[in-house]
Structure 1
Amino acid sequence: MRKYGIGLLLAAGLCEAADFFSGMAARAVIGQRTFTAQTPGASDVLLGGVGGIAYANGTLIVVDDNRVSASPQNNRVLIFRNVSSFLPEPTAVLPSSGVRCPLCVGQAAVVLGQPDFTSSEIGLSDKTFQHPTAVATDGQYLAVADTDNNRVLIWNSIPAVNQAPADVVLGQPDFKTNKANEGNQAPTARSLRGPQGVWIQAGRLYVADTLNNRILVWRNIPTQNFQQADLVLGQSSFTASTTQDLKSQSFDPKPNNMLAPVSVTSDGLKLFVADLGHNRVLVWNSIPDTNQAPADLAIGQPDLNSGASNNTQNLCPENRTTDKDGNTIYPASCGASLDFPRSAYSDGKRLFVADGGNDRVLVFNSIPTQSGQGADAIVGQIASGINQVSDSANPLGRGSADSVATPMGITSDGTNLFVSDPYRRRVMVFTPGETYVPYSGVRNLFSRSVYAVGTITFSGTLKEGDKVTVHIGDSSKNQEKTYDYTVVKNDSFTRVVNNLVLTINADGGDPLVLATPNTNFNSIILTSRLQGDAGNTIPISTTTSDNAVITAAASGATLSGGQDAAKIAPGTLVAIFGDNLSDSTASAPAEADPLPTELAGVQVYFDGIRAPLLMVSPTEIRAQVPWEVSDSNSISNYVRIQRSSGVVVTTAAVAVPIIGENPGLLAQEGTDPRPAIAVHSSSQATATVSVDGSVNAGDVATVFIEDRSYAYTVQSSDTLESIRDALIGKINANADEKVEAFAAGLFTRIRLRAKVQGPEGNGIPISTSTNDGSQVILTATNAATCCANVAGAPVTIDNPAIPGETIIFTATGLGLVTNRDIIDELATGFRLKSTESNTPGEFVSSLIGGKTANVLYSGLQPGMVGIYRVELELNSDIPTNPNTQVTIAQDVYVSNIVTIPVFNPAQDLPPPPDASTGNVVHRRR
């Protein structure tokens, strides 16, 4: 049935270096508007729970139904003509079309089984189906396994109109009957019972007669209804009916029997049968022509007499491990094992197996020659012993560009591998390419690494004297550290969280984790100090004292998420790491607006959108992820490279996990934690007053600047914002005041700034008061104005930050902002024109030196692409430390750890020594 055309075969020959690799993503998707949409329904562009697929002569045929209860079951077959017209060649230059996903493609030309593209009714006629599962074509004939009607329908030519009637029916005497085995228990040479596989090859028709545990073969394409088969495999005769129990697995696999075969295919030389119940694919080295001819080998089993699901003990004993008690543990799966294989397909060179139960496709670069042979690559999973397809355990991976959930059908056009993904309602298109970019090779440009995280969440009741303990580390290896907190009278969960955070981060911090408060959820975020998946092994747990009524729950037995080296927010600047990514190094012009989408012959695509480029080099590409991908949780990325010789190559696609926000802080090159690239915010001394609490008419809020007071009496119509603004107005109304007041960019805070530049503005006393019983709360975060420096001057060991000072950091990856006007203006690759204040959709918090820093402002930086400005006010009692650690966080996502030098003049300590010379240097006060 493999018919590609000479042009496609030549194209395949020119790309021999390209290959499939484990963890690769699909380049394109058919049936959904994005890779992760999973929209239910039926139309000419929308697929439901897809099943079998077939390809011949530029036509892709898709069964839009299945037998695994993936919804919707649309009871139809779609025909996509001229596939090359909507699926670009891998090396093609894709135009900037403004389409959300230029590689989310396909519009069916014809529908079978339904009168139109929106209907999905069950039927029994020459024009309708009842849950079809498989399709086959040789470019002329078309065959469909109409499973629940216990028949196979044949069209003598590929239909050109909707709901075209079939010409021949097999398994039934006419188009109005659907009895299994002619209404009897035993089969015959012309009966069928739930067929789920069909194949046409060299004038022969093969049918996987699933519930009769056999393969039927017609040596010529049948021309009459109810025509008898010529050959049977899996049974001794046409009337034999050996019963095996699939559910209990009380079966007896042999070289010449089968249990619920669901697919039969051939490359013209060999025959392949997906023997579902025996968890194997049977291979005949030549086309069998006698009844019950035995298979020559089995994929998924060590021999032809085994049938256990994921038989890793016998297939991959080298992968075994030993637990602490000395017991041998075998992996759940390996590259040689199978669990309910759904189909097998060969393109004449490779063999592909849809390993449904393991949610993956095994790729054999050559046809196996012996039983138990392992795959060369795995599509749909990152490694042989891993299954990450779980909506509950891995919600970020739901419908990702590199996953398949119970793949059903496989076919190829000679270049692309089409895989039906029923639970995601799509057909994935995997394209071999150069393996220059590894799995998770796309990372936040600033943070570079994503660390494992976990949470400790508190609930219950606070009772004085109760004790809660957080355990971090492996007690069996004597690596555990414990951190206690005892509840005090009139305590609060905020106090519990903040005090435990201080304890965990004290004296240089826990060696394994950094603690961050998340008081909105009464929880502590624990972030691994170990890079990548190493952090996933860090145990966390909690205990409480006897009879305690406070409860504390860990998010899991260990931190998690560290195996994902990159989770990217829309608009983020990213680094794509790899090899041979370009022949030379080139950068975008300094003032480019927009950024170029090609540098040194290199183009980068995300979901087919050509990305703006900052820089390309042989080992790293810097680009912006499009803002448009905010509607997805995973996108597909590949790189097109035109060599200096004129040869064009593309990388195999990799998936990029997309989340709402995942901040990264700009830092110098080097080993983490790296020195931040940060600057002093002001040439004038500053201070902050926070307005909190609630509105209660009659309350009096007063700000004192030296001996001058500015009081405001709260009105019933007030808000915290109007109280803040009223106090700002009163301060600014005094023309002789030494400071000017203005609103902070975040929350209801008043910023005070000395009117004179330089250190002369330092030391102006600031305080607050409210009347007894007041519900409005005023807090001066600084006792006096401080920290005048030179605005924009870098924070260095020679000019360190000072407690209470505001420092400006540069970030990327904070996600979309809340301001509608700004969102409407955002355009991928273009500099932000608006100077309007803006705020990320997810609140930004910060820790500096283990203490909470005030986030005075965070937002997109005008005049920049994908860059955010983050203004942080240091805690007023932060100690001297030349390597003070800084992080920002949004939700559970914490940035990379960067460092800044801090000098506290109040400490009875000399200034920090110069890192390079060890000499004490004088500091700006």
Structure 2
Amino acid sequence: MRVTVVPRTADPSAADPYPGRGAALDYPGWAPRCVVGAEAPGGLLLPPAQPTEAWLYAPRGVTLGDDVLVVADSGNHRVMIWHGIPRTDGTPADVVLGQPDPHTEGPAAGGRGPANGMHLPTGVLLDRGRLVVADAWHHRLLVWDRLPTSHATPPDQVIGQPDPESVEPNAGAEPDATSFYWPFGIALIDGYFYVADTGNRRVLVWHGGVPEPGRPADVVLGQPDAHAREENRGGPVAADSFRWPHDFAATGAGGVVIADAGNHRLLRWDTHPAGDCPADAVLGQPDFTTGTEFPYVPQQRRLRFPYAIASAGTDLAIADTANNRILLQGDHARSTELVPYLALAQPDLAANGENRWDQVGADTLCWPYGLDRRGDLLAVADSGNNRVVLWERS
């Protein structure tokens, strides 16, 4: 099934572009441009067992480059590259990485081994022509020195494991400043390389960009030392603790915002941390010591598992995953509370239904898990609908 994207209209007399699927909504200044990764028929269904270059299964990560789209096709244990940002629904990817061909699925290259395979890749990053992938369940990062142009290109470097075949959590030992346990999110902000080392409940930071293999992190954030890994530092929720750190965004003013998904909040550091230290602000919770989920109340000024964030100028886009929406907030570098001005995919700032409790439309979401923004283009990994939706601001 292919969704045809049409311009939104506020005219209530206009024909519904999705007959039988509920009314399409108007989002001031925003509309979905196209959908890639053909939808599961009817939504919320598994795609066919044999993948193709045009199908996705539970994608969890997405990034935009200079006329490049990269998607972590997590359920198919592969990464997809479009050379040229799609403008047409269902556009097939040009390159498939992590599998021997575009039709194989399964961890470790369909069982052929981890040297040229992946297991639940999530974070994807473009850095001056290089590609970095967080191969989360292999507990490592993969680096390509040049953006691949052909299928099954092997990575040039492996970070976090001693060799391309090793896949044990924390490289088979206790945590240290070189190891990972479920590294889900990665980002390069103001020259600082951030890794959400989610299973170790911490964030690792390297100065000077993506590190060489084996180089220890310069900062361990969220734990008392490089060997600890307890949730919220083994105590209550605090300004210097994480439950499930997951993604990053720049403040635009020399700081960083970190999505602490498991505590249903965002933490902001107004300057890049030089060591383990408390955050300067929290969004989505009333204070630094609250990490509670509120699932059965109107969702104004609340977050439920915010897995992804992205910024552009003064705007912050938040993938409020369990609330099935993208929140847009301005002036986020100074704000001390969650005050979004728009919710994409929902009729208002209180609603939170999966696909608005209807079937799939181009402007609905089900568990958006990944997010990236480049200027007026916003890419959303709509994981529960097995697709990526490109939204555009006009």
TM-score (norm 1): 0.33
Give the deviation of 1:43 after TM superposition.
7.2
Matches within 5 A, 1:142-541: 142-184=69-111, 187-188=114-115, 190-243=116-169, 252-267=174-189, 269-311=191-233, 332-347=236-251, 349-371=254-276, 373-391=277-295, 395-396=296-297, 398-400=298-300, 402-432=301-331
Question: What is the CA RMSD across the aligned residues, in angstroms?
Answer: 3.5
Note if contact 1:265-1:344 (Cα within 8 Å) is conserved in structure 2.
yes
Note if contact 1:114-1:120 (Cα within 8 Å) is conserved in structure 2.
no
1:134 paired with 2:61, answer yes
2:104 partner amino acid: T
Return the structure number with greater relative CO, CA threshold 8 A, min gap 6: 2
Note if contact 1:335-1:375 (Cα within 8 Å) is conserved in structure 2.
yes
- Partner of 2:121, secondary structure, is coil
1:346 partner amino acid: A
> 1:467-486 CA deviation, whole Å, 9 max, x = no partner?
xxxxxxxxxxxxxxxxxxxx
Note if contact 1:44-1:108 (Cα within 8 Å) is conserved in structure 2.
no
Give the deviation of 1:287 after TM superposition.
2.2
Separation of aligned partners in 2, 1:417 and 1:225? 34
Give the deviation of 1:104 after TM superposition.
6.8
Note if contact 1:231-1:289 (Cα within 8 Å) is conserved in structure 2.
no
> Which structure 1 residue ranges, 5 or more long, are not aligned?
1-41, 46-79, 87-100, 314-331, 441-604, 609-627, 635-925
Separation of aligned partners in 2, 1:434 and 1:263? 21
Give the deviation of 1:290 after TM superposition.
2.4
Separation of aligned partners in 2, 1:153 and 1:409? 19
Against the structure 1 CA distance between its residues 185 and 296, is the aligned structure 2 distance closer, same or farther, given a 3 Å change threshold? farther
Separation of aligned partners in 1, 2:33 and 2:241? 39
- Partner of 2:187, secondary structure, is strand
Note if contact 2:248-2:310 (Cα within 8 Å) is conserved in structure 1.
no
Paired position in structure 1 for 2:30: 106
Against the structure 1 CA distance between its residues 106 and 291, is the aligned structure 2 distance closer, same or farther, given a 3 Å change threshold? same
Give the deviation of 1:607 after TM superposition.
6.5
2:315 partner amino acid: N
- Partner of 1:408, secondary structure, is strand
Separation of aligned partners in 2, 1:303 and 1:133? 29
> Which structure 2 residue ranges, 5 or more long, are not aligned?
11-24, 353-394
- Partner of 1:310, secondary structure, is helix
Against the structure 1 CA distance between its residues 432 and 228, is the aligned structure 2 distance closer, same or farther, given a 3 Å change threshold? same
Note if contact 1:360-1:379 (Cα within 8 Å) is conserved in structure 2.
yes
Against the structure 1 CA distance between its residues 106 and 275, is the aligned structure 2 distance closer, same or farther, given a 3 Å change threshold? same
Note if contact 2:121-2:137 (Cα within 8 Å) is conserved in structure 1.
yes
Against the structure 1 CA distance between its residues 235 and 399, is the aligned structure 2 distance closer, same or farther, given a 3 Å change threshold? same
- Partner of 2:146, secondary structure, is coil
Note if contact 1:351-1:364 (Cα within 8 Å) is conserved in structure 2.
yes
Give the deviation of 1:106 after TM superposition.
3.4
Against the structure 1 CA distance between its residues 106 and 288, is the aligned structure 2 distance closer, same or farther, given a 3 Å change threshold? closer
Give the deviation of 1:179 after TM superposition.
3.0
TM-score (norm 2): 0.74
Separation of aligned partners in 1, 2:100 and 2:192? 32
Separation of aligned partners in 1, 2:333 and 2:170? 45
Against the structure 1 CA distance between its residues 186 and 265, is the aligned structure 2 distance closer, same or farther, given a 3 Å change threshold? same
> 1:239-278 CA deviation, whole Å, 9 max, x = no partner?
2222469xxxx97211111001111111261211111100
Separation of aligned partners in 1, 2:332 and 2:308? 22
Aligned pairs, number? 327
Give the deviation of 1:439 after TM superposition.
7.0
Give the deviation of 1:226 after TM superposition.
0.8
- Partner of 1:199, secondary structure, is strand
- Partner of 2:109, secondary structure, is helix
Note if contact 1:274-1:341 (Cα within 8 Å) is conserved in structure 2.
yes
Kindly, what percent of the aligned residue pairs are identical? 28
Note if contact 2:283-2:337 (Cα within 8 Å) is conserved in structure 1.
no
Give the deviation of 1:105 after TM superposition.
6.7
Separation of aligned partners in 2, 1:196 and 1:167? 19
2:255 partner amino acid: R
Matches within 5 A, 1:511-910: none
Note if contact 1:116-1:162 (Cα within 8 Å) is conserved in structure 2.
no
Separation of aligned partners in 2, 1:435 and 1:413? 15
Separation of aligned partners in 1, 2:107 and 2:264? 31
Separation of aligned partners in 1, 2:161 and 2:175? 12
Separation of aligned partners in 1, 2:232 and 2:41? 40
Note if contact 1:153-1:170 (Cα within 8 Å) is conserved in structure 2.
yes
Paired position in structure 2 for 1:65: none
Larger Rg: 1
